């Protein structure tokens, strides 16, 4: 019965040669490694064998296979049961999930024109495939039949939660809609998938195309020789030898703004960053933003929700837009007030230097570092020699994990990778048993999208007998050959953060794939990763990794104490830029379809003003046209998750401190009650199991120093 579907998909996915007078001998295609299970340790994808040409045939075969598996469930003559319906559904599509994971990550981490073409082609097909399952009325009828008996089946807690979640998945996917509305929904889903792919590719392509070109070395005063060499090499690679190219990273703020002394260059760099996706040309995302917002709103209304935010939040721990709006409003007032105090401090320095300009977004990073130097007697340039990448990784990130959980790491050089900079580590549990594989991809490159992320190539499941293969991705500028990789403190914190996600995946110990690792509500997934950030500044950990890259000497105690004392510095700016980005995300997604405006920039400005965060020296961390979190799909109406998680984190940090900090007992408690549980239990109950209490926003406000004005700048003369 499924053979025609298989042939149709293959025909749709594989280009066939045109007929010719003389039969042509086609070039032989290499065996497709994506059609079968990987035989490598932990089922690591065979990256050395995978080619772009393999993906579409693999997608076709595995989509068809999963549809056959679903068809077998639907036509099972036996009465629907938990095992023959719910468990069978959770088992289905194993190899499709693997191919999807490999493709999605390579498209983000090491893309090329061939992958980008496939990305655009496969997005609506993947959407249609999901609809073919979750809008299948016969399959839904079986799920409903089992769900109706949920209280009499004698299921264990994880199995009952699986049944409840799958039923909700079908409802939220539109399974209760009429046939006519299902047809509309399928079209909307396909259009959204296509538009989101266009948005993603535009952001990445423009970041490369709009790198700031600088004519002379003198204009780069403040950069290190290594950073200047990197800029020169980038310009040469772009066909501009003798000039210097400054790449644009994903956020509005650019790291080089903290050191560039030439104000004109700083202004040009900031303007280039702010203008991304909104100044015409092939990568302009304004119309795409409007299209995505309108399509999402239409889908939400079709599914019975007033707007996309309401639809998204109904399945999160925050539950509704009122809760999120209240959270942002509570943070906005003290954040902007503190940002203005911070700006006043910086303006004093401008006056002292007899300069005649008002502090603006292009000046903030440079002058805030000068203020920090006066208040705390240190700046970022003093810190970087103590944050060499390998020290941070082995003596910091891995060391903290070993102290907390007893796990150990062994680098593997015998396994294939997709790019020379990628490193692979095998992770062993405290008893020496194999636990997971961890891939580390830390360097920025033109083929890699901006931002940072964690992904799973293989998810843990006792049902399937699989162990995790997880990866972390950062965008640290790569120094010239032979030079050390010295990190900013923000990059150090990010490394700990992303490894928190990795631990969530590696420690997963659940039965069902549906609950593995980080498959938790979006506004809960950032919680474990933010908890792991605390170890970056834990004195015993910081002393262990903060060592001078040349001498090996530990960071001086005086500098260490200054770093710790400055943890609340510049939090007005940091919180304001995050609140502003959240306001943009929520503003777009709390609209009805008829309310979606065409003027993206004007709408943004009005939303920021209404929320009280329209403060030009602190622009949003992301503007709509390069806000990948929001418009590429993953965090739409969900960027608040970072703040929401931080509320939980503030309580959790207090718990660790109260219970003795960096100990195996504490680590094992966190692992047992929360990290290992994945999504197998209601998220907030996991939090309560760990901390023993309910979350409160007050510790977050205090943690960020927003409960009092920042220190006033004082100096002689």
Instruction: Point out the residues that are catalytic.
Output: 498
Which among 409, 679, 399, 691 has a CA at the least distance from the CA of 532? 399
Q: 121: alpha, beta or left, given left = phi > 0 and alpha = psi -120 to 50? A: alpha
| Rounded distance between C-alpha atoms, residue 190 and residue 100, angstroms | 17
Are the C-beta atoms of residues 296 and 610 closer than 8 Å to each other? no
What is the layout of strands, in order, in the sheet containing 469-476? 408-412, 423-428, 434-443, 469-476, 453-458
Distance of CA 237 to the CA centre of its chain: 29
3-state secondary structure string across 347-379 = HHHHHHCCCCCCCCHHHHHHHHHHHHHHHHCCC
With tokens 């944050």, the residue in question is 387
H-assigned helices in 303-353: 308-313, 321-352
Which among 662, 676, 658 has a CA at the least distance from the CA of 396? 662
Q: Is 609 exposed, middle or buried (0-12, 13-18, 19+ CB in 10 A)?
A: exposed
Are the C-beta atoms of residues 274 and 210 closer than 8 Å to each other? no
Handedness of CA 130, 158, 460, 84 (dihedral sign): negative
55-74 helix and 113-134 helix, angle to the nearest 10 degrees: 10
Determine how β-strand 453-458 pairs with β-strand 244-246: unpaired
| Rounded distance between C-alpha atoms, residue 288 and residue 202, angstroms | 10
Which among 384, 382, 375 has a CA at the least distance from the CA of 570? 375
Which among 431, 413, 432, 434 has a CA at the least distance from the CA of 423? 413
| Rounded distance between C-alpha atoms, residue 524 and residue 313, angstroms | 12
With tokens 């990763």, the residue in question is 529
| Rounded distance between C-alpha atoms, residue 187 and residue 181, angstroms | 10
Sequential DSSP letters for 559-574: HHHHHHHTTTTTHHHH
| Rounded distance between C-alpha atoms, residue 339 and residue 334, angstroms | 8
What number of residues does the chain have? 717
| Rounded distance between C-alpha atoms, residue 108 and residue 103, angstroms | 9
| Rounded distance between C-alpha atoms, residue 196 and residue 641, angstroms | 20
Phi, psi of 636 (to 5 degrees): -60, 130
| Rounded distance between C-alpha atoms, residue 582 and residue 106, angstroms | 28
Are the C-beta atoms of residues 96 and 62 closer than 8 Å to each other? yes
Are the C-beta atoms of residues 199 and 632 closer than 8 Å to each other? yes
| Rounded distance between C-alpha atoms, residue 588 and residue 300, angstroms | 13
Which among 573, 542, 692, 536 has a CA at the least distance from the CA of 251? 573
Strands, E assignment, 556-629: none
Phi, psi of 461 (to 5 degrees): -165, 125
| Rounded distance between C-alpha atoms, residue 165 and residue 87, angstroms | 12
Residue 441 DSSP one-character state: E
């Amino acid at each position: 019965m499924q053979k025609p579907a298989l042939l149709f998909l293959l025909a749709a996915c594989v280009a066939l040669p045109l007929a010719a007078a003389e039969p042509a001998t086609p070039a032989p295609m290499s065996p497709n490694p994506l059609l079968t299970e990987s035989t490598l340790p932990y089922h690591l994808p065979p990256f050395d064998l995978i080619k772009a040409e393999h993906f579409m045939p693999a997608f076709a075969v595995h989509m068809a296979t999963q549809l056959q598996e679903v068809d077998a469930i639907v036509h099972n003559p036996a009465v629907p049961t938990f095992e023959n319906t719910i468990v069978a559904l959770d088992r289905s599509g194993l190899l499709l999930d693997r191919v999807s994971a490999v493709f999605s990550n390579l498209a983000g981490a090491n893309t090329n024109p061939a992958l980008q073409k496939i990305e655009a082609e496969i997005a609506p097909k993947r959407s249609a495939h999901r609809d073919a399952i979750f809008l299948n009325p016969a399959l839904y009828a079986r799920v409903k039949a089992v769900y109706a008996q949920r209280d009499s089946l004698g299921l264990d807690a994880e199995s009952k939660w699986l049944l409840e979640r799958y039923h909700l998945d079908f409802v939220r996917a539109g399974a209760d809609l009429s046939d006519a509305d299902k047809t509309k929904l399928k079209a909307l889903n396909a259009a959204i998938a296509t538009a989101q792919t266009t948005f993603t590719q535009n952001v990445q392509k423009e970041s490369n195309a709009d790198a700031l070109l600088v004519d002379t070395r003198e204009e780069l005063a403040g950069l290190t020789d290594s950073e200047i060499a990197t800029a020169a090499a980038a310009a040469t690679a772009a066909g501009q030898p003798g000039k210097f190219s400054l790449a644009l990273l994903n956020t509005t703020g650019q790291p080089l703004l903290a050191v560039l002394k030439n104000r004109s260059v700083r202004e040009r760099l900031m303007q280039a960053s702010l203008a991304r996706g909104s100044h015409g040309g092939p990568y302009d995302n304004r119309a795409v933003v409007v299209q995505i917002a309108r399509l999402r709103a239409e889908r939400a209304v079709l599914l019975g929700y007033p707007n996309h935010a309401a639809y998204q939040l109904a399945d999160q721990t925050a539950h509704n837009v009122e809760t999120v709006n209240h959270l942002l409003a509570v943070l906005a007032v003290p954040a902007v007030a503190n940002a203005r105090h911070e700006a006043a401090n910086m303006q004093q320095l401008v006056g002292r230097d007899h300069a005649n300009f008002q502090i603006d977004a292009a000046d903030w990073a440079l002058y805030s570092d000068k203020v920090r130097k006066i208040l705390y007697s240190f700046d970022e340039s003093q810190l970087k020699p103590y944050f060499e990448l390998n020290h941070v990784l082995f003596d910091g990130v891995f060391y903290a994990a070993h102290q907390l959980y007893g796990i150990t790491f062994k680098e593997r050089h015998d396994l294939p990778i997709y790019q020379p900079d990628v490193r692979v580590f095998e992770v062993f549990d405290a008893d020496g048993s194999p636990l997971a594989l961890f891939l580390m991809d830390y360097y920025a490159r033109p083929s890699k999208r901006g931002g940072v992320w964690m992904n799973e190539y293989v998810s843990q499941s006792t049902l399937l007998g699989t162990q995790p293969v997880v990866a972390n991705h950062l965008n640290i500028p790569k120094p010239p050959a032979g030079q050390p990789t010295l990190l900013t403190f923000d990059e150090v914190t990010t490394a700990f953060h992303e490894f928190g996600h990795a631990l969530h995946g590696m420690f997963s110990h659940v039965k069902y794939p549906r609950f593995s690792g980080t498959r938790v509500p979006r506004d809960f997934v950032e919680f474990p990763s933010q908890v792991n950030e605390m170890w970056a500044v834990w004195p015993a950990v910081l002393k262990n990794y903060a060592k001078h890259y040349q001498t090996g000497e530990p960071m001086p105690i005086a500098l260490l104490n200054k770093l710790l004392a400055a943890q609340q510095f510049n939090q007005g700016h940091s919180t304001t830029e995050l609140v502003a980005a959240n306001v943009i995300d929520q503003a777009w997604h709390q609209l009805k379809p008829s309310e979606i405006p065409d003027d993206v920039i004007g709408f943004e400005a009005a939303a920021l003003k209404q929320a009280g965060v329209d403060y030009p020296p602190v622009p949003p961390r992301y503007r709509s046209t390069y806000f990948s979190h929001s418009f590429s799909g993953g965090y739409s109406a969900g960027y608040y998750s970072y703040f929401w998680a931080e509320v939980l984190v503030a309580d959790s940090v207090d718990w660790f401190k109260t219970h003795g900090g960096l100990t195996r007992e504490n680590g094992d408690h966190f692992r047992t009650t929360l990290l290992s549980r994945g999504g197998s239990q209601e998220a907030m109950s996991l939090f309560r199991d760990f901390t023993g209490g309910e979350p409160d926003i007050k510790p977050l406000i205090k943690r960020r120093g927003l409960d009092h004005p920042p220190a006033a700048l004082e100096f002689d003369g």
